[in-house]
Structure 1
Amino acid sequence: MSKLLKLTGFTTLSTLLGVSYYYYVIDRPLYQQTALHKTNVQVENIIDNKAQFQYEHMSRDSQAVVQRPFAETVKDIWNKEVRNTADWLYSWGK
């Protein structure tokens, strides 16, 4: 009986934590203003090919305009976030 009681308690606690996390972090408008959410939306748009890119016409030569590969774009976003995270972590020590 004690194993069943422990399992029930653990399940209840896990469910409450999950629901609390959803309502207080994900569902709040405050989360939608964070850099994490904005980056997540940006990456989802790139993956789903819904991103709006602005192409500039560099010259009249058709070979002068080069579109970057998808992998390079994702790498740049990843590197930017890693740099921002490192800067944020190092700012704690100042």
Structure 2
Amino acid sequence: MDKGIDQNVILQAIHELSDQIKSVEKNLSERMSALESRMGALESRMEALETRTASLEEGQKEIKEQVRKIDKKLDILNRDLLDTRADVEFLKK
């Protein structure tokens, strides 16, 4: 009987360990699913940020081009102003 009791105790312990392992596996599986969902959400956010960054960079390029054009126009206006002043000074003499 002692041998039978020991076997039952061993079998019960094995069964309990098996249940614990299944519980841990289930828990890990749930965590993995949650992490995969989070990763998907993060990847979506990263894609949105990359799109927004590209859009901002394009806008920045356009602004730089507009500033260059305005600078050129200001240079022309400054030269015209200097020419006009020189003409006025010449006419005063």
The TM-score normalised by the length of structure 1 is 0.31
Look at both structures and tell me which one has the larger radius of gyration over its CA atoms.
Answer: 2
